[in-house]
Structure 1
Amino acid sequence: MPQDISTVAFIGLGVMGFPMAGHLATAGCTVRVYNRTTGKAAAWVAEYGGSHHATPSEAARGADLVLVCVGNDDDVRQVTQGDGGALQGMAPGSLLVDHTTASAELASELDVACRERQIGFLDAPVSGGQQGAETGALTIMCGGEPADFARARPLLDHYGRAVNLMGAAGSGQLTKMVNQICIGGLIQGLAEGLHFADKAGLDPSRVVEVISQGAAGSWQMDNRHRTMIADEYDHGFAVDWMRKDLGICLDQARRLGARLPVTALVDQFYADVQAMGGGRWDTSSLLRRLRDPDTK
């Protein structure tokens, strides 16, 4: 790890943050953690060592690097700039990295707040899901200053397979939006293809075995077709989270004047899945929507 970073704080120990923080502890970092649910923080310390704290500011006090992985813009504001937030405990010269998938506007806001305190900042949303977090194979899209990226990069490499600086603050979040836009369309296309194959009397598994070797192949096809065919969705990235992300994409598109007709349509299809009670199902559950004759 960089010589100037020996102690880190990790704020948010959900399905992503818990293993990400664990990779840092395994790599030899002194890790101070905070989680809104104290029991989860205590469980993390029992497994990995380090210490857990009552507030984000307490966790951040004395840390050279503070990493945040929470739910949405409001959650990030609360744990960074709110009463007892991480910025209250961070010293000049330290570095804040936000792994939350959030808005580009929030990234710019945090960048300004950090610069006022002489703290470095990177927005660094991730892709790869819980499996990627556990195996240390996440894609991390960063926005910020090159010097701050260079400092953080060796730490991010402990759980990132592809770690890239995309531009100034906010660029990481904008890149993650492109990621979610592309994924939404891919999953809907895969769901429709599998549904069509079934209705046509084909063996969907054999169809995928063939077409995955050509131009139709994708990560979603390779990693989700079996569970989709089996109608199993109790895993992976939840529909509720995807709708949050697509809402961010659509809001940003309106600001930019970008047209996202397919993304808007897929977002409404996910609303249908939520209405079916599938808010916590994996995003590949778009196929169940097609199989349900009562879904419009």
Structure 2
Amino acid sequence: MKVGLIGVGLMGHGIAKNIVTKGWELSFLDQVGNQPTTDLLELGAKPYDKAVDLAAASDVLVLCVTGSPQVEDVLTGSGAVLDGLRPGSIVIDCSTAIPSSTRALAAKVGDKGSDFVDAAMTRTPKEAEEGRLNLLVGGKEESITRIRSLLESFAENIFIAGDVGSGHQLKLIHNIISMGTIALIAEVAACAIQDGMDTTAMVDCLRKGGAGGAALERVAPYILEGNADLLRFTINNAYKDVGYYNTMAEEMDAARLMSKAAYDTLAGQIDQGKGSAFMPELVKLLQSPSQ
């Protein structure tokens, strides 16, 4: 099975490295925005200048780009991947995307005689390099079965959510809870710090109560010592993901009051030019300017 990959970024590099080191024949799109690929080339990966040519040379094409606009551009816009897809091939979309867009693109891929599987990721670049991502997967059972060993080359846990689009839907559910909880923790921590709260006591209390969990553990090092390294996820990215959730909920006519509050919090920071800050830094950004 020949594997192509588009998007050798912070997450995509780890995916690519694990694919090629675990015995798969890998090619990738050589483009601006990639992480350094010298190690991949030394391991035998082959670069392509055009996405359409990469698609034509691949049995499975993995997309690891930012979101729905980029996936749409790769498949139907400047990348022209649809023009190069082999009948019987599979497109795996590891991005975070709006499910309605995913399903529309999957239909177009199906018209070319190929299949589409959404395999959204959770965890960080560290786990990507270690081959320990979580994948939230949607698609036809037979297609998922065919590519499962490939997915297992870079994932520790695989959650089959349902048909095409379900993986992306589950990712948005995951991220609105994660990013919304982090925004809430940051807001209340900012309030407590402004009032002179002992941050060690506060974090210890939260850890041993109902606020304990992964979100707190990723923000706690920033609260205690100004270290944002455990969540190097920007406000810009969180804003995108929360916005995607709101779009999905609006299309379903579902409640979204809490998610809108998280969205407005992130939008306020972007309006102030703080979008490149990491999410834990909200603890400082939400404090009064006089602090």
TM-score by length of 2: 0.90
Letter in 2 for 1:244: K
Q: Corresponding residue for 2:278?
A: 282
User: Deviation of residue 61 (structure 1)?
Assistant: 2.4
Give, in whole Å, the separation in 2 of the partners of 1:71 and 1:100. 6
Q: Residues of 1 paired with 2:199 and 2:269: CA distance? A: 22
Structural mapping, 1:1-296, within 5 Å: 6-37=1-32, 40=35, 42-43=37-38, 45-46=40-41, 48-233=43-228, 236-293=232-289
Provide the aligned length of Structure 1 versus Structure 2: 290
Task: Give the match's secondary structure for 1:266.
Answer: helix
Once residues 229 and 273 of structure 1 are traced to their aligned partners in structure 2, the CA distance between those partners, rounded to angstroms, is 22
Write out per-residue CA displacement over residues 23-45 of structure 1, whole angstroms, 9 at most, x where no aligned residue: 10111111100143187575454
Residues 41/112 of structure 1: CA separation in 2 closer, same or farther (3 Å cut): farther
Instruction: Give the TM-score of the pair, scaled to structure 1.
Output: 0.89
Distance 1:84 1:274, change over 3 A: closer
Rounded to whole Å, the distance in 2 between the matches of 1:276 and 1:193 is 20
Partners of 1:56 and 1:88 lie apart in 2 by 10
Q: Which amino acid in 1 is paired with 2:51? A: P
C-alpha distance in structure 2 between counterparts of 1:281 and 1:131, whole Å: 19
* Structure 1 gaps, min length 5: 1-5
The list of structure 1 runs, each at least 4 consecutive aligned residues, that deviate by more than 3 angstroms after superposition, is: 38-48, 199-202, 228-235
- How far off its partner does 1:146 sit? 0.7
Q: How far does residue 293 in structure 1 lie from its aligned partner after superposition?
A: 2.5
Report how far residue 276 of structure 1 moved: 3.2
Gap regions ≥5 residues in structure 2: none
Shift of residue 130, structure 1, vs aligned partner: 2.1
Amino acid corresponding to residue 74 of structure 1 in structure 2: P
> Structure 1 residues 209-218 or 227-236, which shifts more?
227-236
Secondary structure, counterpart of 1:32 in structure 2:
strand
Deviations 1:200-228 (A, max 9, x none): 54432343234313322111211221124
For 2:160, the aligned partner's letter is: L
Q: Percent identity?
A: 24
